[in-house]
Structure 1
Amino acid sequence: MTNNYGHILLEQKAAIDDELIRALRPYFESAHLDARDVFHHTARIDLHPDAHGPGGNARYPNCLPPTARKGLFGEVMAGMLVQAYQFIGQHHWSIPIFLFRYHAEVEAYIFALARDPARVREVSGRHGNDFIGLGIDPATKEVVRFIAGEAKWRASLTPAVMNELMLGEWDGPAAEGVRKGDGIWNEMNTGLPAPQGLEQISSLLREKARDEYAEAIVSLDRALLLGAAPISRTDYIFVAGNKAARRAAGQTYLPSNAPPPEYTAGRPLQVVELVVSGGVDLIDRLYDSLWKPE
């Protein structure tokens, strides 16, 4: 870790079991609760419908197809790790709420699925930053910094897959082409000083916790005005995936000491790599378990 760059490698040591699923479940249910309320209300299904009742097949997030689940898993894990580990700058990060309700395609998918169970299909990812957290001053209660970035899951995480994630796909055959440059590094470099996610968090706090976060809301409102001085930003990249067969213990695929030349934003940057085995099974077991009795 340097003054402006941090890297954490997390590697699975114990087997995935029921105890791990039980430990993760409360955080994942909390992360998805707001979107669950919104999507169920829009689709006119009960929050806790009987398994055989109308709409029981369309409960969020249990009903989501595999690719969508994997994307959500990465975003929630990114938030969990922000709160569990000391990141670059030693800031204290708060995650008042996740932004999953702002996923129009999932909302439409659940509405249709509740009325026609045969309409199972994949859905595209949510637009905008995958993750946003707030740095709230403990004395003034104002937002003085935020952390934002990208969270990705890949079932097979190899160097080639990591390069595609970070740099974009090849424009032409790999042996002859060039990278499109539309990967994660580009997302970081072109990130707005005040992204739309801050407006979405501000709106949700006004709706759900106006009194508790009054000072934070006011400070966000000031920072979101056109031409206003931006709040300091920390960038965050979280990449998780299954351990590749040739990946040695302790091996990193992203730089561990300093950012690469492809990162030009110049902001404090935190990178986390999570390496697991049987990750697809973990995600399925975890999401199948949400809001279900033991």
Structure 2
Amino acid sequence: MPELAEVEYFRQQWDPGIGGKIKLVECNPKARIYRENSAKEITEALTGATLRASFAQAKQMLFQFSGGRWLGLHLGMTGKLLCVAKQPERGKWDHFVLRQASRTLVFRDPRQFGLLRLHIGQEPPAWWTELPPAILSDAFTPDVMNAFLQRRAKSPLKAVLLMQERFPGIGNWMADEILWRAQLHPEIKSGKLTSEQKETLYRKVREVSADALCAIAGVGGELPADLNVNIPESWLFWHRWRDGGHCPKDDEALQRKAIGGRTSCWCPRCQRP
């Protein structure tokens, strides 16, 4: 599932369309992405509107259109946004297409776990404004993080990092990367961290978020075949996926186990229980 940086990258793909009028909306009305608002509702609201701005927060996106129209978009597991200069036919998995005079904005989602949400009003929808503070914002402080850890004191730290109400945008690979850099075992209970470990965790949560945004969302240009091309080999990222993968720090064989319902990967030497 796309995480913080992937979502920001895909948000940028529709930015060339900002300032352009939507001449035609094409939908697959049977697609599951319309389970909150129908394809007809969205088509009627956006046809003739102008795309004004785009925003990303956690794993969600928001697009502002003229006339107080707002479109929320969640990529789900396989969703992606594309902007193409031509006017191609709508593809099999292109369940939502916005046609402008000189470009086409596409939402492609083979597995249809994504979601579109329409809001009409002068202000952004409540479900957007009530999202938790972004990890790189001033509102995400050590005190805020520590208080949340204490409320989840008996939960494994890996599971807590995946809780979107406090760590918005953090997914499986980012959580593993954070714990590996912080040298914390994924099964350690959140309430057992020392003050020093909490300080380290806070720094690494923000560090990995910033590094991921730079490496993935900062690539710009055309959509690459692999969004992760700029991630260095020195990260845990590449090694955690490989069979027989080894820690890039000390070459120790990596271990894997399901923690909090998600497969976790760690180095038994760097991250002792």
Q: What TM-score results when the alignment is normalised by the length of structure 1?
A: 0.25
Higher share in helix: 1
Q: Comparing both chains, which one has the higher relative contact order based on Cα–Cα distances under 8 Å and sequence gaps of 6 or more?
A: 1
Q: What TM-score results when the alignment is normalised by the length of structure 2?
A: 0.26
